Structure 1
Amino acid sequence: MKHILLVEDDLTYSRIVKTFLEKNGFTVQTAIKVKEAQQFFSNSKFDLIIADFRLPDGTGMELLQWSKSNYPQTQVILITHYSDIRIAIKAMKLGAFEYITKPINPDELLATVNESLSAKVAEPSSIIAKGAETSAPKNAFQSSYVVGSSVEAEKLEKHIQLVAPTDLSVLVLGETGTGKEFISRRIHDFSTRKDGPFIAIDCGALPKELAGSELFGHVKGAFTGALDNKTGHFEMANGGTIFLDEIGNLSYEVQIQLLRAIQERTIRKIGGNKEIQIDVRIIAATNDNLIIQSGDGHFREDLYHRLNEFTLSAIPLRNKKEDLEDFADQFLEESNERLNKTVKGFSPEVWEIFLAYDWPGNLRELRNIIKRAVLLTGGSHVEKEALPADLYEPSANIMGTKGSPTSSSRQTDLPSPKDYKSQWVEQEKELIQKVLMDTKFNKSKTARILNMDRKTLYSKMEKYGLD
């Protein structure tokens, strides 16, 4: 019997999900905080963690990173709202098996749980899946690359075919979810190195203190915990291509090592003194502005120019709506095969919704929504009722169940961190004040309604001057 750890601080919600999973043959342990969940691992082994993103003492993302570092064989499913779509995609890149959205559909939850428990655990730093133009990890369904028929898509494909046979370093720019990794894989597949390895690294998922070791390897005894010699990703990629996603996350020290590797075509393991020759093509990707980072001193300008011998830009889905049908048909076919369904297409009303929506999560969001819709569809075509309300009702995207403000899914650009934080604080203050007034300042009842403990409520009341 598979053992699941459910981490959810809404006790009513947690009890419902726990009962449902237990009726379907799983053993379920519940926790309400990140630290509590971590403590359970000292006495128990879990096959799967299902964690809400927003928790009282942290986030599901923090629990994901901790579990992947300490218990890599445990799968993780993240629960989010659709307003968390960018966070959910980042979680996938860090090794989460999947994300599901509130309100949770029981059939979707059960299908995702069963799929996660039967899948091979993916390494978050090595994504080698060949195929679909998404940012999905290698546990995702693999399919043919969709080029698209828009002018932008044809131009991108032309540039891929142009640069692929060369040995130029390529910098792929674009938003999260636009398929930067699979563009890179396509370059590799059309290069003279296609028979060599393709090693993909998410630099954002590398622990800062171990990034040098992961990339370049180390010798036994180089540091505490280095119990044996380790072959780094660059050495593993010899004769092929290495893809460095989120390159802007590398520390300045590792940037120096990377620059040296590019210039001299040699690497030196951490703690070693032997130079190792390498023959590796580098493709890097980022959604950051590295020019600004270099001006701020966070990214070496000489490294930027070494990586940027040729630039490709992954196109946001909202800017290539002409290709929407190509991608939707591809993901429909995948979902039918994955879920053993025979849905033939989408209703005209669904197409209107798809074309009007901005797709902030890009291809990954489209794929996930179609998979969910196929699961919920009993007829021959996907109807509006099978879609999340966030896609066609902006007003549905209001305060989350934990009293956290959620921005509209139609919003193309997020506010600056400073503006977003100030909006968050103001809305949280207003919500607490309203609930306090509704309950005639009954703090116990207020805490229950807001799904927070009394200590947290008192702290926030003091912070906002609501005593």
Structure 2
Amino acid sequence: MKHILLVEDDLSYSRIIKTFLEKNGFHVFATDQIKEALLIAKREEIDLIITDFRLPDGTGLELMSQYKALNSITPTILITNYADIRIAVKAMKMGAFEYITKPINPDELLLTVKDALKSPKPTEDSSNTNSIHALDYIIGKSQDAIQLENHIQLVAPTDLNVLILGETGTGKEYISRRIHQLSYRSQQSFVAVDCGTLSKDLAGSELFGHLKGAFTGASETKAGHFEAAQGGTIFLDEIGNLDYESQIKLLRALEEKKIRKIGSTQEIDIDVRILAATNENLLQQVQEGKFREDLYYRLNEFSITALPLKNRKGDLMLFAEQFLAESSQKLNKELEGFLEEVINQFLQYSWPGNLRELRNVIRRASLLENGSFISLASLPVEISQNVSNEPSELTVKEQREVDEKSKIKETLIATQYNKTKTAELLGIDRKTLYNKMKKYSL
């Protein structure tokens, strides 16, 4: 019997999920706090974690980060509200197996749980490559897509370092793999590293390796990502999250083509092409002293921008059709396409989660649909009813409240819902923050 750890602070919701999963043959440990979840994880053998994003003592992302230190191969499913799609996509970047949105459909939950449990556990080597499942690279037919492909074709045969810009979920890693596949290094390794998951203490070890005994916990000599990519390509995703000390080491590796393992005096020659990506404004970080200017220009020998899905409406249905084909095959259904009103809603929706959100929406709709074509009834209400996030004409007071709510929400997300830090950044006390969170239902 598989053991599932459920972390959900809505007790009635937790009880429903626990009962449903146990009826389907799983043993479920349920808690509502990160601290207790970690204690259970240390005590029991856990096969799968299902966690809500918002928890009383932190967030689901914090739980994922802390649990990874205990066991990096246990799959995680994140439960989130539809308004938190960007957070869900970030969770995928951190290694979550999948995310599902509230209200939860039981069939969708069961399918996702079974998929997570039967998926191959990542080994240390496979985690280094961060292989992407689903969605082969689609060039697209729009003018912007053709220009993007032209830039890829132009830079791929060279050895220029490339900086790929764009929102989370826009396919920056797919672009980097496309560049690698079209380069003379294509028969060598492609190693993808998410810098957002590298802690300040371990970033140097992960990137450049370490010798046995170099620091507490270094029980054996380890090769870093750069050694693993020797002769090939290394993709540094979310490069803006790299700590300053690691930036210095990375700059040296770029300039001298040499690395040094932590605890070693011997230098290792490297032949690696670097592709980096970010969804942040690196130039602004340079101006604020958070990112080295010399490193920025070394990485940005050529830049490519991945467009958000809302700006690729001419290509949107190409992606949708491929996702539908994948879902139909996986669910053993014969789905032929989308009704016209569904296509219209797809084209009007803003897709804040980009390709990842589109894939999940189609996967869920494919599961729920009883006919041969995807209908509006199978879509989340935010899409089927085209819920607009465009502000209407407001009074000065109403606009002020909208701005205040937005600022509080942005700060909460930035601090991963740390109330103390949020209050400090906003210049208010915790009591005032709690009152405003209650007022705005945050």
- Tell me the amino acid that sits aligned with residue 10 of structure 1: D
Partner of 1:331: 323
1:185-334 matches, cutoff 5 A: 185-334=177-326
- Correspondent of 2:357 among 362, 365, 385: 365
Partner of 2:84: 84
1:69 Cα deviation from its structure 2 partner = 2.1
Distance verdict in 2 for CA 1:298–1:462, change over 3 Å: closer
Partner of 1:170: 162
Q: Contact 1:125–1:205 at 8 Å: present in 2 too?
A: no
State, as a whole percentage, how many aligned pairs show the same letter.
Answer: 59
1:253 Cα deviation from its structure 2 partner = 0.6
Q: Contact 2:77–2:96 at 8 Å: present in 1 too?
A: yes
- 2:24 pairs with 1:32: no
Q: Contact 2:73–2:121 at 8 Å: present in 1 too?
A: yes
- Tell me the amino acid that sits aligned with residue 248 of structure 2: I
Partner of 2:339: 347
Q: Contact 1:390–1:409 at 8 Å: present in 2 too?
A: no
Moved more, 337-346 or 374-383: 337-346
Distance verdict in 2 for CA 1:127–1:419, change over 3 Å: farther
1:258-316 C-alpha deviation (Å, 9 max, x unpaired): 00000000000111100100000000000111111111111000000000000000011
Distance verdict in 2 for CA 1:275–1:81, change over 3 Å: same
- Tell me the amino acid that sits aligned with residue 234 of structure 2: I
1:394-423 C-alpha deviation (Å, 9 max, x unpaired): 66xxxxxxxxxxxx6679xxx999763446
Distance verdict in 2 for CA 1:462–1:181, change over 3 Å: closer
- Tell me the amino acid that sits aligned with residue 126 of structure 1: N
1:464 Cα deviation from its structure 2 partner = 4.0
1:342 Cα deviation from its structure 2 partner = 1.3
Q: Contact 2:191–2:233 at 8 Å: present in 1 too?
A: yes
Secondary structure (helix, strand or coil) at the match of 1:243 reads strand
1:67 Cα deviation from its structure 2 partner = 1.6
Partner of 2:138: 146
Partner of 2:42: 42
1: distance between equivalents of 2:57 and 2:211? 38
1: distance between equivalents of 2:263 and 2:64? 30
Q: Contact 1:394–1:409 at 8 Å: present in 2 too?
A: no
Partner of 1:439: none
- 2:422 pairs with 1:420: no
Superposed CA RMSD in Å reads 2.3
- 2:13 pairs with 1:13: yes
1: distance between equivalents of 2:183 and 2:402? 40
1:317-337 C-alpha deviation (Å, 9 max, x unpaired): 111100011111111111112
Secondary structure (helix, strand or coil) at the match of 2:295 reads helix
- Tell me the amino acid that sits aligned with residue 92 of structure 1: M
1:125 Cα deviation from its structure 2 partner = 5.7
1:9-158 matches, cutoff 5 A: 9-122=9-122, 126-129=128-131, 138=132, 140=133, 142-158=134-150
- Correspondent of 1:389 among 371, 381, 403: 381
- Tell me the amino acid that sits aligned with residue 138 of structure 2: V
1: distance between equivalents of 2:92 and 2:433? 37
1: distance between equivalents of 2:51 and 2:433? 29
Distance verdict in 2 for CA 1:279–1:423, change over 3 Å: closer
Q: Contact 1:83–1:409 at 8 Å: present in 2 too?
A: no
Q: Contact 1:85–1:360 at 8 Å: present in 2 too?
A: yes
2: distance between equivalents of 1:334 and 1:118? 18
Aligned positions, number: 409
Secondary structure (helix, strand or coil) at the match of 1:79 reads strand
1: distance between equivalents of 2:350 and 2:159? 36
1: distance between equivalents of 2:300 and 2:25? 52
Q: Contact 2:377–2:384 at 8 Å: present in 1 too?
A: no
- Tell me the amino acid that sits aligned with residue 71 of structure 2: Y
1: distance between equivalents of 2:389 and 2:16? 27
Partner of 1:404: none
2: distance between equivalents of 1:211 and 1:262? 16
Q: Contact 1:218–1:272 at 8 Å: present in 2 too?
A: yes
Q: Contact 1:164–1:187 at 8 Å: present in 2 too?
A: yes
Secondary structure (helix, strand or coil) at the match of 1:41 reads helix
1:250 Cα deviation from its structure 2 partner = 0.6
2: distance between equivalents of 1:368 and 1:45? 29
1:165-212 C-alpha deviation (Å, 9 max, x unpaired): 000000000000000001000000000000000000000011211000
- Tell me the amino acid that sits aligned with residue 11 of structure 2: L
1: distance between equivalents of 2:150 and 2:323? 24
- Tell me the amino acid that sits aligned with residue 420 of structure 1: S
1:39 Cα deviation from its structure 2 partner = 1.2
Distance verdict in 2 for CA 1:151–1:462, change over 3 Å: closer
Partner of 2:424: none
1:386 Cα deviation from its structure 2 partner = 0.4
1: distance between equivalents of 2:281 and 2:407? 22
2: distance between equivalents of 1:189 and 1:108? 35
Secondary structure (helix, strand or coil) at the match of 2:263 reads coil
Secondary structure (helix, strand or coil) at the match of 1:257 reads helix
1:393 Cα deviation from its structure 2 partner = 3.4
Q: Contact 1:201–1:244 at 8 Å: present in 2 too?
A: yes
Secondary structure (helix, strand or coil) at the match of 1:267 reads strand
Distance verdict in 2 for CA 1:206–1:410, change over 3 Å: farther
5+ long unaligned stretches in structure 1: 130-137, 396-407, 426-458
